[in-house]
Amino acid sequence: MCLAYTPESIFLMVYFRDQMKNKSSNELRALAGWERIALRLGQPPGQVYLVTGHSSAYTASLIIGCAAGQQIAVVDGAMRFNSYLISRIAAWLDLEPKDLLSRTHVTRSFTAFQTEAAITTRLPDFLQRRSCGVVLILGLLQTYYDEQIHVHESEHSLHRVLQTLHRVKAQNRHVLIAEVDVENPPEGKEHLFGMIRAATEVTLSMQPVDAGYELIEQRSIKWDETTNPSPWSLTGTE
């Protein structure tokens, strides 16, 4: 079937494309500091980043990942990924939405056990087949805050997940964990966010500024002989 486009329909398509681009442009202009991180994701060595500070951390991590020009593996535990958002980001970056979506590979998890399986088992297998340079984890703790997983189980499961992400990093891939530090986490799980923060090398904190938000970079303090070892050390020496 052949579609015939009238001048009116062509005008509407161009109008809505421009409207989408303008909306995306406004949102991205409201976030400062993402460009330098996106540039860094195109170069070795790999690092583990935590993007946090505001609920827009999920969108910020997607912006950075999309702008890096790499294939992206996304594990979405917060139900924050959608193709419409990627299309808006593509419009602002002057990329073809179809091309950006084709190099973005998404899996979703609805329970903590699915999250662990997605990251510790499925992700390494997938990365052997695909040359993804960037891995995005959206809402890692969302499933761990569920009451169906006990505190002890969540600690050990999260530890295994973080160890896997550091092995992924060792392959010169960049890992971005987008997570919001909630004000009232479930009782007994208040320390889980701290576990993630301690395991990341760079924290990108979204701080409010006049025009919107700015990503402030904070680097973790490296352990040395004068530092008490972490009880959840990722070196395997716990």
> Between the CA of residue 12 and those of 6, 9, 69, 91, 135, what are the distances in Å?
10, 5, 30, 16, 36
Q: Tell me which amino acid residue 157 is.
A: S
Phi-psi region of 188 (alpha: psi -120 to 50; beta: other; left: phi over 0): left
Per domain, the residue ranges of the chain are: 41-219
pLDDT at residue 84 in the model: 86
Average model confidence (pLDDT) for the chain?
82
Q: Which helix (H) or strand (E) holds 203?
A: strand 202-209
- Contact between 213 and 59 under an 8 Å Cβ cutoff? The reply is no
> Between the CA of residue 139 and those of 144, 175, 177, 191, what are the distances in Å?
10, 13, 7, 16
Give residue 123's Cα distance to chain centre: 14
Other Cβ atoms closer than 10 A to 156: 12
pLDDT at 232 over 50: no
Closest among 134, 77, 125, 137 to 103, alpha carbons compared: 134
228 DSSP 8-state letter: P
How many residues are there in the chain?
A: 238
pLDDT at residue 107 in the model: 94
**Mean per-residue pLDDT for 230-234?**
43
* Assigned superfamily of 41-219: P-loop containing nucleotide triphosphate hydrolases (3.40.50.300)
75 DSSP 8-state letter: E
pLDDT at 3 over 90: no
pLDDT at residue 32 in the model: 75
- Contact between 180 and 55 under an 8 Å Cβ cutoff? The reply is yes
pLDDT tens digits, one per residue of 46-55: 999 999 987 7
Instruction: Label residue 231 by pLDDT band (50, 70, 90).
Output: very low
**Mean per-residue pLDDT for 215-229?**
57
pLDDT tens digits, one per residue of 83-133: 888 888 898 888 999 999 999 999 999 999 999 999 999 999 999 999 899
**Mean per-residue pLDDT for 180-205?**
91
Structure tokens at 155: 């600690």
- Contact between 164 and 234 under an 8 Å Cβ cutoff? The reply is no
Structure tokens at 136: 């995005």
Structure tokens at 37: 């991180």
How far apart are the C-alpha atoms of 114 and 166, rounded to whole Å?
A: 19
pLDDT at residue 16 in the model: 41
Q: Tell me which amino acid residue 179 is.
A: E
